[in-house]
Structure 1
Amino acid sequence: MTNLPQGWEVKTLGSIGFFIRGVSYKKEQLLSIKDEKSVYLLRANNIQNELILDDLQIIPKELAVDKIIQNNDILFAMSSGSKHIVGKNILLNDLNDFTFGAFCGLFRINNLNISYKFLAFYLKSSFYKNYILNISKGSNINNLRFADLENLQIPLPPLKEQERIVGILDFAFSKIDENIKKAKENLANIDELMQSALQKAFNPLNDNTKENYQLPQSWEWKSLGEISNLIQNGFAASKNNEIPSGYVHLRTHNISMDGSLKFDTLIRIKEEFIKEKQSFIERNDILFNNTNSTELVGKTALVTQNYNYAFSNHLTKIKLKNQYNSKLVVFYFVLLLKNKYFEKICHQWIGQSGINIDKLKKIQIPLPPLQEQEQIAKHLDFVFEKAKALKELYTKELKDYEELKQFLLDKAFKGEL
């Protein structure tokens, strides 16, 4: 670090404090009830943008001797199954009877000339994040060593200047966080609006019956099997069959949660593996995600034009009869996904869930005459397009607010704030 203001110095993290290793324990030592002889245990997944106090474990206090969390300790995620969690950290305060697990490390400052909050802000900066990235570059190991963190260099002004900078950042971040909260609320409101529009469209009489609720005159319940000419799964293609410039093979990630196809990441395979009947999709076809993690099974997308694309065995192609509107059926499946219907009917096994063609055919769909189907689909299309534009706007706002935070942190630790 160069060109720091006069009076600033660079110290390593290891020179201003020390690390404490987390508690190791056995599964049978976990307790179900907290009492005076036990402590709560924090793990790596509790460290997010804020401290998440869900899913806490409880262990005997005797296992956590000299490992009880104190005010102004900083907890680090040292190891995790998820690489993006490793290195995350949080300043801790007001925790009574808390310790931390073996996949975490606790840093305790022992230098009176260091502001805890100044250090905590630095550990959220791009300087720190880039340091962690460089340590883990080219490595598939999702863990950090204390030695790695102890060598982290920190630009430090005198204590009064640290406190001045903390005051500015505290005020600015509180205002930014207020705006972030509003943007997130707006996004949640948009999701509720979309859900409400779908609910009203497919249950116009607002009947509270859970299944096969009452429909308006001229509407009727139809099974997917009744209204389809074709329901066909795709075919599997292993990683060994993938090539950079081959034939497109659509996968589950190509289906969005809102009923559309995504082409940002395309997998291509050798043409000799193409199976003729499963090597194309046409306008108004429906692609249904038949196998995925439980919460994602049932993602459904409308095909809006002809593509010479194959599709995975985890996708099912559906062709409707002419008197039924594909877009409307996709919207109904989006509603079912939001209502967790597919989670209830899917077959679950280790790591995955699925819905086979027989079960898919039996799904009941509320349908008006074709002309009304087209009107409802057009209305929902309008609502979803407006909602999508607003979601993009608020999502960009959230990104801008996070970038503003990083800009302020960058200025702060260059001595320019």
Structure 2
Amino acid sequence: MTLKWEVKSLRDVCEKASSNVSQNQLANETGKHPIFGAGGFIKNVSFYHQDKEYVAIIKDGAGIGRLSLLPAYSSVIGTLQYLVPKDVLDIRYFFYYLSSIDFNKYKNGSTIPHIYFRDYSVEPILVLPLAEQKRIVAVLDEAFDAIAKVKENADKNLTNARELFELYSTSIFTNCGSKWMERTFSEVCEIASVLVDPRIEEYLNLKHVGGANIVSKTGELINLKTSKEEGLISGKFLFDSTMVLYSKIRPYLMKVAQPTFKGLCSADIYPLSPKAGILDRKFLFHLLMSAKFTEYANTGSARAGMPKINRDHLFAYRFMCPPLLTQKEIASKLDVLRRNTDELESVYKQKIADLEELKKSILQKAFSGEHVGANS
């Protein structure tokens, strides 16, 4: 039996509608009807705009093209748009079809990107008999449910790997030995660097490290450029491979690095020099990355505009400091565990990325007509 099917444009098989509701209008609203924004459910309100299931698409902002299948008797705010299929389409078939489209190719604007229905409404859609649409939906539901379960396990494993490292790190810094001594930061490290002019010839080809160049919670340095390449003009700290770099902005981000080269760093980064014979550099790195120190840094960095830890608060930090040899042993163990954790994270992140690609591949095949042959 040959299926009756045809290809139509999106604009021929759905209705679009806009919302003029802004989130700040909802403060005093109460009711039983959900309203949604780009981040999902906002609250229940007294009104609704759609009386049957629909697809909402983000039309403005960083998340343009992201889709949600939303319930009847609900609404969205103005950054989203309603897409309601006509009777020739099953709602879930319609949602899956839209999920196969790359809406980024219709992006306009750079400051606040947006997409227009008039542009993407030319997308072709394969219109099959409703029974066949439902069959395809059932197949996709089953496949995506299986993918979701695998992804959930990968997410859990990723979380567990991180928590294991944090738990071990915390235990090391709290289970003190008999020879550990209470110290303040000012006793064990210092900022010996002074600000230099990055326009001076001897500094032009040195790499510059700003907060954005340090990956949160990993210590990785990325996208480094020289002073000359960045066209730096304001004063920068000179650092070398004996120091640890600590970003004082938003300390909860835990941006700490151990550079292996001589360079310049932003004035918003502290180039910390451990005192010889007292503090091991690698131990200092792990201490700055510890949960206990981060909690301390956060409590002393409350600022309305930008959380920031000042020098006085930093150097007043008190901690139990082990002998130098013990510091080296602890740092070595944490280095190994961090490497193993990073490797596990890389595996799980790649697995999650592969699952997302698998979903895209399944959708592309489902709506490229490949499924028709099996039933024709």
The interval holding the TM-score normalised by the smaller chain is 0.7 to 0.9
Tell me if the contact between 2:14 and 2:84 (Cα under 8 Å) persists in the aligned partners.
yes
Q: Report 1:39-78 matches (<5 A).
A: 39-46=33-40, 53=41, 56-61=42-47, 64=48, 67=49, 69-78=50-59
Deviation at 1:366, TM superposition (A): 2.1
Gaps of 5+ in 1: 47-52, 205-214, 239-244
Deviation at 1:185, TM superposition (A): 0.3
Deviation at 1:343, TM superposition (A): 2.5
1:107 pairs with 2:66? no
Deviation at 1:234, TM superposition (A): 6.0
Tell me if the contact between 1:259 and 1:331 (Cα under 8 Å) persists in the aligned partners.
no
Pair 108,338 (structure 1): closer, same or farther in 2 beyond 3 Å:
farther
- What is the rounded CA distance, in whole Å, between the counterparts of 2:3 and 2:268 in structure 1? 62
- What is the rounded CA distance, in whole Å, between the counterparts of 2:90 and 2:44 in structure 1? 31
Q: Report 1:18-167 matches (<5 A).
A: 18-25=15-22, 27=24, 30-31=27-28, 34-35=30-31, 39-46=33-40, 53=41, 56-61=42-47, 64=48, 67=49, 69-80=50-61, 83=62, 85-93=63-71, 98-111=74-87, 113-125=88-100, 128-129=101-102, 132-136=103-107, 139-167=110-138
Q: Which residue of 2 aligns with 1:299?
A: 255
Counterpart secondary structure, 1:270: helix
Tell me if the contact between 2:188 and 2:274 (Cα under 8 Å) persists in the aligned partners.
yes
Q: Report 1:305-344 matches (<5 A).
A: 305=260, 307-322=261-276, 323-336=278-291, 340-344=295-299
Report the more deviating stretch, 386-395 or 145-154: 145-154
AA matched with 2:350 = K
Q: After superposition, what is the alpha-carbon deviation per residue over 1:317-365, rounded to whole angstroms, capped at 9, x for unaligned?
A: 0001112112112112212379644332214232x22112222111223
Q: Which residue of 2 aligns with 1:386?
A: 340
Q: Which residue of 2 aligns with 1:400?
A: 354
- What is the rounded CA distance, in whole Å, between the counterparts of 1:28 and 1:76 in structure 2? 21
Pair 234,98 (structure 1): closer, same or farther in 2 beyond 3 Å:
farther
**Count of residue pairs brought into register by the alignment:** 365
Q: Which residue of 2 aligns with 1:198?
A: 169
Report the more deviating stretch, 159-168 or 405-414: 159-168
AA matched with 2:330 = I
Deviation at 1:45, TM superposition (A): 2.0
Deviation at 1:258, TM superposition (A): 3.2
Deviation at 1:92, TM superposition (A): 1.7
Q: Report 1:346-365 matches (<5 A).
A: 346-350=301-305, 352-365=306-319
- What is the rounded CA distance, in whole Å, between the counterparts of 1:170 and 1:237 in structure 2? 58
TM-score (norm 2): 0.86
Deviation at 1:59, TM superposition (A): 4.4
- What is the rounded CA distance, in whole Å, between the counterparts of 2:369 and 2:171 in structure 1? 56
Superposed CA RMSD in Å reads 3.0
Tell me if the contact between 1:289 and 1:299 (Cα under 8 Å) persists in the aligned partners.
yes
Counterpart secondary structure, 1:353: coil
Gaps of 5+ in 2: 372-376
**% identity of equivalent residues:** 22
Tell me if the contact between 2:196 and 2:238 (Cα under 8 Å) persists in the aligned partners.
no
- What is the rounded CA distance, in whole Å, between the counterparts of 2:252 and 2:267 in structure 1? 18
AA matched with 1:10 = V
AA matched with 1:72 = E
Deviation at 1:391, TM superposition (A): 0.8
Pair 169,222 (structure 1): closer, same or farther in 2 beyond 3 Å:
same
Counterpart secondary structure, 1:262: coil
Q: After superposition, what is the alpha-carbon deviation per residue over 1:300-324, rounded to whole angstroms, capped at 9, x for unaligned?
A: 1223x2x132111121100011121
Tell me if the contact between 1:234 and 1:317 (Cα under 8 Å) persists in the aligned partners.
no
Tell me if the contact between 1:274 and 1:310 (Cα under 8 Å) persists in the aligned partners.
no
Q: After superposition, what is the alpha-carbon deviation per residue over 1:112-142, rounded to whole angstroms, capped at 9, x for unaligned?
A: x2121112112222xx11xx22221664442
- What is the rounded CA distance, in whole Å, between the counterparts of 1:60 and 1:89 in structure 2? 24
Q: Which residue of 2 aligns with 1:242?
A: none
Deviation at 1:74, TM superposition (A): 0.7
Pair 181,260 (structure 1): closer, same or farther in 2 beyond 3 Å:
same
Pair 356,308 (structure 1): closer, same or farther in 2 beyond 3 Å:
same
Q: Which residue of 2 aligns with 1:287?
A: 245
Q: Which residue of 2 aligns with 1:177?
A: 148
Tell me if the contact between 1:11 and 1:155 (Cα under 8 Å) persists in the aligned partners.
yes
Tell me if the contact between 1:281 and 1:309 (Cα under 8 Å) persists in the aligned partners.
yes
Pair 268,153 (structure 1): closer, same or farther in 2 beyond 3 Å:
farther
Q: Which residue of 1 aligns with 2:374?
A: none
Deviation at 1:403, TM superposition (A): 1.1
Tell me if the contact between 2:65 and 2:104 (Cα under 8 Å) persists in the aligned partners.
no
Tell me if the contact between 2:198 and 2:236 (Cα under 8 Å) persists in the aligned partners.
no
